[in-house]
Each structure stands twice: as structure tokens, then as C-alpha cells.
Structure 1
Amino acid sequence: MRALTRAAAIAAASFLFGVLGFGLHMAAPTAMLADAHGMIGSIAGLIGLLLALVLGLVIWTSHGVYTTQVTESLSLGPIVMQLDHAFEQLGPKGLEGRKLLQGQVRSHRERFWGEDRRRRGAISYAVSRADTRDMAECLARIAPADDGERRLVATTQSLSASMIQTQLLMARQLATPLPPILLAVVVGWSFLLFFAYGLSSAANPISLVMAALGAVAVASALLLIFELMDPYDGLFHIPPAGIDHVLAAIGVRSDAKA
């Protein structure tokens, strides 16, 4: 909803700049407009080219953010399952680790799909540090009886570090997916473009309708960018079904083992 509101505001502002261009076209002397017609068209073409190129680049970048989040979210499942299996192989010694793992996965779900998602960037380092400390303390309490158990402990250390690192990277990437100034420049170019189009055209119902449709088209592209940059909330959100299935699997297995 927030992305839709921002896109609607940009569409309205773009149309308003087009109307301002129409107004200046009506107020300016005809001879002056005729003399400046070539310059207006050239600048409008330049701005249109810049807007098309950079807007396409921004859409591609935001799509990259989305696909990276999907890939990393999917990669967590196998890591968690391998980590749970390694703790299971340790028998009673690994029960505490399995319960801790389940709690950390629940915390991850809350940060990305729950109430904590709006502040995940601010708490990402603190949560990752706490998870690293808790897992290290848990593993330190395990006393391996043979080389096999020592290898399992080493495996859990490696997998746990990989899981926490992936979670941290996912959160930090979403904190600053695109520089705000880049989006501001793109929006500013769209305003200038609509102003130039209005300045070079006479105001009539057809011109107004086309200006409105153009504003909606630009806003829809920006809506796509906003939605792709927020992959856990919105039209293109990544569903939590995958992590819910992982939680159910390790939860059932932990309960059964206990």
C-alpha cells in the first residue's frame, strides 16, 4: 500500500507538471514558442532518452535485489536442515542445539515476515551477533567423545556461521537496495519531461488524456521498482511457506527425538 501511494503521488505530480507546461504554452507568445520549438523538442528527446535508460537500469537493479532475496531465502532451507541433522547425529548432546536452531529460525521468520520486518535493518547486526554468541556457547558445552562427534561439532560450527551470515546479508541488502538520490533523479527527469511535453503541445482533451496515461505509465514502472525492492511485503512478496515448512520439519523431528 505504501508503494502504491508513492506511485500515485508521482503520477499526479507528473501530470501536474504536464498541465503547467500546457499553461505556459497558452501564456507564451506564439512567435516565441515557434522559435523555441526545436530546442524544446531536442531537450524533451534528451530527457526522454536519459529517463528510459536509467529507468530500465533501476528496474533491472531492483529485480536483481528481488531475485537475490529469493535465492538466499531458498538457500537457507538446506543449510538449516543439514544443521538440524548434524545436531541430531550428536544424540542427546545435540538436543539443546536443535532447540536453539529452531528459535533462531523463528526469529528469522519474524524479522522478514513478521512485525519486526520494518526494523530488520536496524537490528540485523545485533541479532546476528547474539545468534553467533548463543550458538558458540551451545557448541562449547558439547563434549565430543570421539573423532566422529568432533567432526559433527565442526560441521555445525560451519553451517551455523553460513546460516547467520546469509541472514545478515539478506537484511543488510534490503536496508539500502538503491541510493535514494537515484530514484529522486529519475522522478525529477519524469517531471521535466512532462513539462516539456506540455510546453510543446496545445491543451485539449486528447492532450490531457495522453498526459494522464503517460503519467500512469511512468508511475507503474516506479511502482514495479518499489515492489521489487520490498520482496517480503507487497504485490510480489516472497511467501513464508518455505521457512514454515522448515520450521515444521525441524520442530516435529526435535519433538520426536525428545
Structure 2
Amino acid sequence: MTSAQVFLISFAAMSAGIAFGRLLRSSVPNGKLDADSKEVIKLGTGLVGTLAALVLGLMTASAKTSYDTQNTNIRTLAAQLILVDQLMVQYGPEADDLRRFTREAANTMVDRIWREGATSSSKISAFSSSHVGGKFYSAIDALSPKNDEQRALKSRIIDTSFEIARVRLAIFTRLDSSIPIPFLVVLMIWVTVIFTSFGLFAEQSTLVFAALLVFALSVSSSLFLILELTHPFAGLMQIPSEYLKDVLPALSS
């Protein structure tokens, strides 16, 4: 379920709840309820509102944690790419071909991360090494150190390359939304109940009805933003690909 779909469905559900509440109010004789009935409905609405606020808080925390984790992974990946390139420079001209493969692999990595993150297709291919990645690791194996310094550098290049692979896989394992669909469905039901009670007790005026629609729009917008946070490589709040693209020119220097 996309962020836009959640926004539209939730807003439509709350609007329907408002309309249903107004309809119930008009069906009550003289438009009034006895004090005990009002108290029971208000207590129930307060309980549902508390539960909804708790779930919203949990969803926001989960989405923000997921977004921050992916943002940290991308920055770590950029740092590791710069580090491995610097190690290759220290290794000497023998690593020039490896540096070119590194640039090609980084370009491929950027494309796959943002492409896979923007779609809901199968992620099976995301866990397999690309053709360029295979050439990169083959080039590392082909390095023939001539002294202790180059042997140490090759070892560090291998370690850093494995760290890059680890972070890359960590990114792909978290591409799916971290918000369970049942959470969203139950939350939409709760907020619909809340807005139904608003329609039931609110004054029958155009101004109040417009205000309730604005409130519903605000709640729907919060759900939209939460869902956007769970898709860090697509949508309005996506992590800029420049975090990795900006380091690419350095890899070819």
C-alpha cells in the first residue's frame, strides 16, 4: 500500500465517519442524547483516542528509526568507498584498473539501490552480485603484492570491500516498509470511530463540518508522512542519491 493510497483511504474513511456521525445526530429525537449516553460515548472515544495516539507514536518511532538507519548506511557506504579508493592509491599504479572497477561498481550500486527502493518488485536479484561487482572482486584477487606494505594494503582493501558488501546487503534487507498493514487498518478504524463521535456531538453547521474535514486532512497527512519515511529511496522524503554520487568523481582521480 503506497503513501498516497493510505492518505486517500484514511481521509475518505474519516470523512465518511463525520458524515455518519451527523446522520446519527439527525436521527436522534430532538437531536439530543441523555447525559449517561453522552458520558459513555465520550469515555469510549477517549479510550480509542488514547490507543490511536499510542499506535501513531509507535509507527512514527519505527518509521523514523528505519529512515535514520538507511541514511546512516548510505553515509557509511560513501565513507567506505572513499576509504577503499585511498587504499588503492597508496597501493600504487597496479591498482588503477581496480579503481576503475570500483567506480563502475559504485555507479551500478547507486542505480540498484534507488531503483529497487522505488519499486515493490522482488528483491531476489538485489542479493546477487552484479557483473561489475564480480569483476571488482576478481581484480582484488589478481593483485600481486611485491612487498610487505602492499600485502598489508591488499589485506585492508579486502576487509574494506567486504564491509562495503555487508552495508550494501544491510540496505537491501530493509527496503520493505517497516509498518505492518494490520497496524494501518486498525488505526484507520479507530480514527474513523473518533471522527464519527465528533460528527455526532458537533454542532450542525458548515463551519464545524469544514473544521472537522481539516482535522481529518491533518491526520491523513501524518499517516502519509509516516509511510513516506518507510520508503527512504522513493517519494518526497527519499535520501538523496548524491550522497554516493558525489564520491564517484574522486574514485576516478
Q: Which has the higher helix share?
A: 1
Partner amino acid for 2:150?
Answer: E
Are the aligned partners of 1:132 and 1:164 in contact in 2 as well (CA < 8 Å)? no
Measured after TM superposition, the shift of residue 159 of structure 1 is 0.6
Q: In structure 2, how many angstroms separate the alpha carbons of the residues matched to 1:61 and 1:201?
A: 34
The aligned residue for residue 16 of structure 2 is 16
**Change beyond 3 A, Cα 1:139–1:171:** same
Deviations 1:47-90 (A, max 9, x none): 11111122122112212222222222112222101111222233
The aligned residue for residue 75 of structure 2 is 74
Measured after TM superposition, the shift of residue 131 of structure 1 is 7.2
Are the aligned partners of 2:17 and 2:193 in contact in 1 as well (CA < 8 Å)? yes
Q: In structure 2, how many angstroms separate the alpha carbons of the residues matched to 1:33 and 1:104?
A: 69
Q: In structure 2, how many angstroms separate the alpha carbons of the residues matched to 1:127 and 1:207?
A: 58
Partner amino acid for 2:113?
Answer: F
Measured after TM superposition, the shift of residue 135 of structure 1 is 4.1
The aligned residue for residue 144 of structure 2 is 143
TM-score (structure 2 length as normaliser): 0.87
Q: Which secondary structure does the structure 2 equivalent of 1:145 belong to?
A: coil
Q: In structure 2, how many angstroms separate the alpha carbons of the residues matched to 1:207 and 1:123?
A: 53
Q: In structure 2, how many angstroms separate the alpha carbons of the residues matched to 1:158 and 1:201?
A: 65
Partner amino acid for 1:17?
Answer: G
**Change beyond 3 A, Cα 1:116–1:239:** closer
Partner amino acid for 1:213?
Answer: V
Measured after TM superposition, the shift of residue 44 of structure 1 is 0.6
Deviations 1:72-127 (A, max 9, x none): 21122221011112222333432332222112211121123347742484432124
The aligned residue for residue 43 of structure 1 is 44
- Percent identity (aligned): 25
Partner amino acid for 1:170?
Answer: I
Are the aligned partners of 2:117 and 2:234 in contact in 1 as well (CA < 8 Å)? no
Partner amino acid for 1:37?
Answer: K
Measured after TM superposition, the shift of residue 225 of structure 1 is 0.4
The aligned residue for residue 123 of structure 1 is 125
Unaligned runs of 5+ in 2: none
Deviations 1:125-180 (A, max 9, x none): 1247x777554433222222222222111111111111111122122212132222
**Change beyond 3 A, Cα 1:117–1:217:** closer
Q: Could you tell which deviates more after superposition, 60-69 or 156-165?
A: 60-69
Are the aligned partners of 2:117 and 2:232 in contact in 1 as well (CA < 8 Å)? no
Are the aligned partners of 1:17 and 1:194 in contact in 2 as well (CA < 8 Å)? yes
**Change beyond 3 A, Cα 1:209–1:122:** farther
**Change beyond 3 A, Cα 1:113–1:176:** closer
Measured after TM superposition, the shift of residue 192 of structure 1 is 1.7
Q: Could you tell which deviates more after superposition, 157-166 or 53-62?
A: 53-62
What are the equivalent positions in structure 2 for 1:230-245 lying under 5 Å apart?
230-245=231-246
Q: In structure 1, how many angstroms separate the alpha carbons of the residues matched to 2:49 and 2:108?
A: 46
Are the aligned partners of 2:55 and 2:187 in contact in 1 as well (CA < 8 Å)? yes
Task: Establish whether residue 90 from structure 1 lines up as the match of residue 57 from structure 2.
Answer: no
What are the equivalent positions in structure 2 for 1:1-258 lying under 5 Å apart?
3-29=3-29, 33-34=33-34, 35-114=36-115, 117-118=118-119, 119=121, 121-127=123-129, 134-251=135-252, 253=253
Are the aligned partners of 1:83 and 1:160 in contact in 2 as well (CA < 8 Å)? yes
